[in-house]
Amino acid sequence: MTEVAIVGVGLHPFGRHDAALTGMAMGAQACRLALADAGVSWGDIGYAVGGSNVSGKPDTLVGVLGLTGVPFVNVRNGCATAGVALATAANAIRAGETDLALAVGFDKHARGAFAANPADYGHGDWYGETGLMVTTQFFAMKDRRYLHTHGLKDRLLAQVAAKAFRCGELNPAAWRRTALSEDEIMRARVINPPLTQYMLCSPSEGAAAVVLARADRAADLCERPVRLAAVAKRTRRFGSFEVFAPWLPPEAGPSPSVDAARAVFAASGVSPLDVQVAQLQDTDSGAEIYHMAETGLCEDGEQQSLIDAGETAPGGRLPVNTDGGCLANGEPVGASGLRQVIEVVLQLQGRAGARQVPRTPRVGFTHVYGAPGISACTVLTS
């Protein structure tokens, strides 16, 4: 099978920007940065995929990037949007449609928790009207169940958030760049207990893009191309505890993160134990904790000792969310998965600056998860 490599990355910093700056404009900037990083022009791109949940149709980007006639696919898959965009672009190269592809994601969200329309998720109006259709409730309830089942302490949620903001402090592109103590995080405003405001990521604005090439051509374009060893995406199976679920069966089933991670490790031939740097969906700090286990990076319950020992910090054995993750960057939903990929690429290339993991890692992993139960994972190697 044709191998695929990432040869250029471009990030429009996540955060809150000028009201007049559109999601689309941030997307265009991310594309231009990625093209420049790869040393290619938009006219060289033979296939493009774009993702946005709320900020317009990505394929209209051709109007500002150039009307080259390039095939352009739009993706709208919740928090997994950018992961799916990346997979689609990589598959176009594998299918022989092009030697050079681009994937971009962008979004510009309103402030505050997301509002959702019950009918969009197949529910009656009652579900929204009675106050059950709130994503942060689910995060809090999945966290509480997970911590209870595996004997983990609530304080672990603050430890994860404190690590995220320490990483954010070292990342010039991060939104939240002020370190906070565990006590400050624990004492902050309660949103949905056990979660306080600093344990939940906020919707934000931003864009991310990558240029992909056939791996056998990548060395011509990039000094240190990063191989996209595998990418996989899955939807939920029966029994998985998901957001916006009025009921669950008593028998638990694997989450889509479990399935997508297993698939990507099997396809890449890499073991979860080989991963040297990881980006996990941390919509809230509890999500980082259980996603460590769902993706196979550790056992259920092992998180307490790993995190207490600092193993998930940049200097540890398994650095997680070294750019501050969703907690420090916020979440422009359509871009978030590509931000993760970009961070791992920079780490594998030794270009991560102050937050660079020591002894440049060679194997990285990324994981996104979104409503109503979808996940996309990648394994990246140098």
Closest to other proteins by CB, 140 vs 230, is 140
Alpha helices per DSSP H over 275-370: 285-294, 303-308, 325-329, 336-349
Contact 277, 297 (CB under 8 A): no
Least distance CB 120 / other proteins (angstroms): 11
Question: Quick one: 116 or 280, whose CB is closer to other proteins?
Answer: 116
Of 148 and 317, the one with the shorter C-beta distance to other proteins is: 148
Q: Least distance (Å) from other proteins to the CB of residue 33?
A: 34
Residue numbers of the site for other proteins (CB under 8 A)?
112-113, 115, 117-118, 124-126, 128-134, 137, 140-142, 144-145, 148, 190-195, 238, 245-250
User: CA torsion angle for 368, 371, 374, 377 (degrees, to 10)?
Assistant: 0
**β-strands 47-51, 100-108 pairing:** parallel
CA 150 to CA 176: how far, in whole Å? 30
State in angstroms the smallest separation of the CB of 147 from other proteins.
Answer: 10
Burial of 298 (0-12, 13-18, 19+ CB in 10 A): buried
* DSSP states of 184-223: HHHHSPEEETTEEGGGB--B-EEEEEEEEEEHHHHHHH-S
Q: How far is the CB of 118 from other proteins (least distance, A)?
A: 7
Q: How many CB atoms lie within 10 A of CB 256?
A: 24
CB 171 within 8 A of CB 14: no
Closest to other proteins by CB, 50 or 128: 128
Phi-psi region for residue 269, left (φ > 0), alpha (ψ -120 to 50) or beta?
A: left
For other proteins, the closer of residues 116 and 270 by Cβ is 116
In the bound complex, what is the minimum distance in angstroms from residue 288's beta carbon to other proteins? 18
Closer CB to other proteins, residue 156 or residue 215? 156
* DSSP SS3 for 345: helix
Shortest spacing between CB 57 and other proteins, in angstroms: 24
Residue whose CB is less far from other proteins, 123 or 177: 123
- Between the CA of residue 305 and those of 62, 160, 298, what are the distances in Å? 49, 13, 11
Minimum CB separation from other proteins for residue 312, in Å? 25
Q: Which residue has the tokens 């998985």?
A: 240
Between 96 and 122, CB nearer to other proteins: 122
Nearest approach, Cβ of 191 to other proteins (angstroms)? 6
